[in-house]
Chains A and B, each alone.
Chain A
Amino acid sequence: MIRVEFLGPIAREPMEVEVRDLAELSRILFEEETIRPWLQKCAVAVNDVMVKDPKLPLKAGDRVSILPPVCGG
């Protein structure tokens, strides 16, 4: 299982999904009405490392974090 966490203002509990890569996860998240509007604006970390490849393979036990737009300071 892959654990998906939604950070900051995204009002959504973590979810556990069975997917092989980020592209597959993207399709699942796209079906979620509360999450869909965020996808275009969010960055992604896998196991706390920021990632750039939209087709990055995932393996059991991976933790995906969804990071919405930021404003520190």
Chain B
Amino acid sequence: MMELYNGPLDVKEIFGRWLDEEAESNYGAYIPFVGTIRAEGGIEALSFDIYVPVLRSWFDAWQARAKERGAIVKMAHAVGDVPVHSSSYIAAVFSPRRRVALELIEDFVEDFKANAPIWKYDVIDGRRIYAEDRSTPMEGAGLLADGQKSE
């Protein structure tokens, strides 16, 4: 399950609902992760653009990987502006045993950072500035530059 919201996430509502959804699923471990916007560099908020079709395929591939290990992943992310001290991203793994959940939550959150098609902007004095220095090229980047060189 992947959920997208305009603006900050209602973390308690979402985690509570996910817990209810899996109450009878016989998972022994539920590991939630919360990403909170820190006040730094004079920002008032962060802002996000998402390319939903590719995010959905990325997420579905992860769900398949989790399923192979008897687990499931869930995530929610914000679109648009998210003020400091509120949450833009939460994720969770449910699994029969804790070891799988601990490993999956790490891999899932790290790969999310590197390969989910989401763009981050600092919001300073109401202006949106692309967070270029914190952004990472996705796997396979440079494809079109390679095409140029081969000529």
List the interface of chain A (C-beta within 8 A of B).
Answer: 7-9, 22-27, 29-30, 39-45, 48-55, 65-73
Contact = CB atoms under 8 A, between A and B. Distances in A.
Nearest to A22: B147
A57 B57 CA distance: 22
Q: Chain B: interface secondary structure?
A: mixed
Interface of B: 35, 48-49, 51, 53-54, 57, 77, 88-89, 109, 112-121, 130-132, 134-148, 150-151
Nearest to A24: B147
Contact of B151 (A25, A27, A65): A27
A64 to B, nearest CB: 9
A68 B132 CA distance: 10
Given A8-B130, A71-B118, A73-B112, 11 more contacts: A8-B51, A22-B147, A39-B145, A39-B148, A43-B139, A48-B57, A51-B140, A54-B146, A54-B147, A72-B118, A73-B77
